[in-house]
């Protein structure tokens, strides 16, 4: 209904035209607006109103209370995750209409759109207004005004590039009228199509340096403030205008009977104002109308900043208002994370290992045992009654012989791949699954070299200082797919592990390394004999760090992630969880036993872990 009300002026004009011609000469044809003219009249109600640009200051937003506004932050997901206004929703210029609709807001809900400097937000603001939202504001100067560490978007952009401004009026040379761009269709449909097309193209800005580099005379330049300031005689300190620019009075120049007929369709148009927060909307409007229009970045503040006495960015324009960290996950990411983190953060279930002694003493016949080793190694010797399987066929193989609540044991060479499989079975709804501690290497001494040959002490200079203070928040992976779909993908990809030697060879600094045990052991002050951690590693506390509201936000999506624990059997499950969520994650083979085995007083592989339980052959 509000959308139609916004077109009331247009419909009234058309009605007058029809009525007038009906009362005149019968031979006269009815005068109708073209689709372009109808589009102009429909949008001019906003464009030439006092609500354009509709800026709210950081001070007002903070004083009013951010909870009283629906705030949409157009910055990148990474930047948003690193700090945003509390309660703000991450959005984009392209998706702003869908993002606002998804928030379930009424057309008159108070909305604030924020970006880096306030300029892209203008593009989004006019789109929302033209689509019927009536109470939209842009954050003045963008996030540069909300928090001092974000102020670089403005502080680094202001300057005095226009050293020889012009003070003569060029409007007298505007004598040529151009044909308007051509459109078809009804105005309501046309408006929606044009608005989304412009949003899809994104914010269109140009710097003054690029303007000069390309040749100022190759642009039709619109100075969008009053005549006195245009001529350099106003009170804002403006010394003049860009040579060749024309003066278009704000809120009085873009109508069919105003200056619109003089806009060329055969060359780019550049609009500039004080801070680019108005010109960004005017440029967007002209693009909706079919013109090739751009907003001059940072406006007068980039041209003659030092001369300005108002509309001027200064250090006082920024504040240090509260922020919150974290990203907005996709619906699929949130659903998968919520389902899987319940398990990964449950110490009674994860990692859920069972030692060889307990399996043998309890009776192998009391378990459904699945052996992930190759068919050749399985045939050469396996636990009596075990089923040979592989990660790719695991779910089907288990479903063929076991119920969801059956006692299941998964075995492999060392216990690490089995832990990967254990996580998958838990996610598939099996409730009584264990992985064989140390794998088949613990079942029979003939298989023990898989562990015995892998332990060592290559980490000769462990780090003992914490690194968590340097953690920064990141965007979550743009995950799509259900838990079941993601699980199939993870199993099809196979167990993902890396040795410490390969990490060193590739450069430790090229990995985000997660130390997955308690802080004392991470710092080398625990009771298990750990002398410290891999240099640069971050400490993620088991059972308290892998939820959406915990430390997931600090894991990057643009580099591989390596998780290590004591033996690699817990980290294998955490790795499977992270891969389920879309991270490029790996488990470090053999964990601390592959770093500083000789120092360990707990969780250490040794001869006591070896047994000589029977193997059967095929």
Known catalytic residues? 115
Measured over the CA atoms of residue 595, residue 601, residue 607 and residue 611, the dihedral's sign is negative
The 3-state DSSP class for residue 408 equals: strand
Residue spans of alpha helices (H) in 262-318: 279-288, 299-303
Pseudo-torsion of CA 578, 326, 477, 148, nearest 10°? -130
Instruction: Answer yes or no: are the C-beta atoms of 88 and 72 closer than 8 Å.
Output: yes
What's the half-sphere exposure (Cβ side, CA atoms, 13 Å) at 256? 17
Q: How many helices (H) and strands (E) does the chain have?
A: 23, 20
* Strand partners of residue 585: 561
Residue recorded with tokens 């499977």: 576
CA distance 488 to 495: 13
Cα–Cα distance, 147 to 79 (Å, whole number): 13
Looking at the DSSP assignment, which residues form a beta bridge with residue 561? Answer: 512, 585
Q: Quote the CA–CA distance of 422 and 456 in Å, as a whole number.
A: 27
Q: What is the DSSP letter of 350?
A: S
CA–CA distance, 578 with 586 (Å, rounded to integer): 9
Whose CA is closest to 346, among 422, 408, 410?
Answer: 422
Query: For residue 164, with 0-12 CB atoms within 10 Å meaning exposed, 13-18 middle and 19 or more buried, which class applies?
Result: exposed
- Answer for the pair 407, 398: CB distance below 8 angstroms, yes or no: no
Structure tokens, 439: 């794998």
For residue 501, CA distances in Å to 89, 456, 464, 516 come to 42, 11, 20, 19
- Which of 602, 582, 583 shows the shortest CA–CA distance to 592? 602
Three-class SS state of 199: helix
């Amino acid at each position: 209904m509000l959308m139609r009300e916004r077109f009331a002026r247009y419909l009234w004009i058309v009605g007058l035209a029809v009525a007038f011609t009906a009362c005149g000469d019968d031979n006269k044809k009815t005068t109708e607006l073209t689709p372009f003219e109808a589009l102009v009249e429909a949008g001019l109600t906003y464009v030439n109103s006092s609500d354009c640009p509709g800026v709210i200051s950081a001070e007002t937003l903070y004083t009013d209370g951010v909870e009283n506004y629906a705030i949409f932050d157009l910055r990148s997901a990474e930047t948003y995750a690193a700090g945003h206004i509390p309660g703000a929703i991450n959005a984009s210029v392209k998706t702003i209409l869908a993002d606002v609709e998804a928030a379930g807001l009424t057309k008159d809900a108070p909305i604030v759109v924020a970006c880096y400097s306030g300029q892209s937000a203008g593009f989004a603001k006019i789109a929302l207004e033209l689509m019927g939202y009536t109470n939209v504001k842009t954050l003045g100067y963008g996030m540069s005004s909300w928090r001092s560490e974000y102020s670089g978007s403005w502080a680094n952009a202001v300057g005095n590039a226009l050293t020889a401004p012009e003070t003569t009026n060029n409007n007298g040379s505007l004598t040529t009228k151009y044909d308007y761009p051509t459109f078809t269709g009804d105005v309501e449909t046309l408006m929606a199509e044009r608005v989304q097309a412009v949003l899809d193209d994104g914010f269109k800005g140009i710097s003054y340096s690029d303007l000069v580099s390309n040749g100022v005379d190759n642009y039709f330049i619109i100075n969008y403030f009053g005549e006195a300031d245009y001529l350099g005689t106003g009170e804002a300190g403006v010394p003049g205008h860009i040579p060749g620019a024309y003066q278009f009075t704000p809120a009085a120049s873009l109508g069919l009977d105003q200056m619109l007929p003089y806009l060329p369709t055969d060359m780019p148009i550049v609009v500039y104002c004080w801070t680019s927060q108005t010109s960004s909307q005017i440029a967007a409007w002209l693009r909706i109308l079919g013109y090739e229009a751009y907003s001059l970045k940072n406006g007068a503040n980039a041209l003659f900043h030092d001369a300005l006495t108002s509309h001027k960015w200064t250090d006082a324009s920024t504040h240090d208002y509260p922020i919150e960290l974290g990203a907005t996950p996709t619906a699929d990411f949130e659903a998968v994370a919520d389902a899987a983190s319940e398990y990964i953060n449950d110490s009674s279930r994860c990692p859920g290992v069972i030692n060889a002694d307990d399996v043998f003493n309890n009776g192998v016949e009391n378990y459904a045992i699945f052996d992930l080793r190759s068919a050749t190694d399985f045939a050469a010797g396996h636990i009596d009654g075990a089923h040979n399987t592989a990660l790719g066929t695991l779910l089907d193989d288990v479903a063929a012989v076991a119920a969801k609540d059956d006692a299941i044991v998964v075995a492999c060479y060392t216990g690490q791949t089995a832990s990967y499989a254990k996580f998958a079975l838990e996610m598939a709804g099996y409730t009584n699954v264990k992985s064989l501690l140390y794998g088949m290497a613990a079942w029979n001494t003939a298989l023990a070299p898989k562990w015995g040959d892998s332990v060592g002490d290559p980490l000769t200079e462990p780090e003992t200082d914490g690194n968590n203070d340097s953690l920064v928040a990141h965007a979550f992976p743009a995950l799509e797919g259900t838990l079941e779909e993601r699980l199939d993908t993870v199993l099809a990809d196979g167990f993902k592990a890396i040795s410490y030697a390969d990490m060193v060879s590739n450069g430790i600094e090229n990995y985000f390394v997660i130390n997955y045990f308690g802080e004392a052991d991470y710092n080398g002050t625990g009771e298990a004999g750990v002398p410290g951690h891999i240099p640069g590693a971050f400490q993620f506390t088991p059972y308290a760090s892998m939820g959406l509201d915990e430390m997931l936000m600090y894991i990057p999506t643009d580099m591989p992630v390596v998780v290590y624990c004591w033996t690699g059997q817990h980290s294998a499950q955490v790795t499977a969880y992270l891969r389920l969520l879309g991270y490029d994650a790996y488990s470090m083979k053999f964990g601390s036993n592959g770093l500083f085995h000789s120092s360990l007083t707990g969780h250490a592989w040794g001869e006591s872990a070896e047994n000589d339980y029977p193997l059967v052959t095929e």
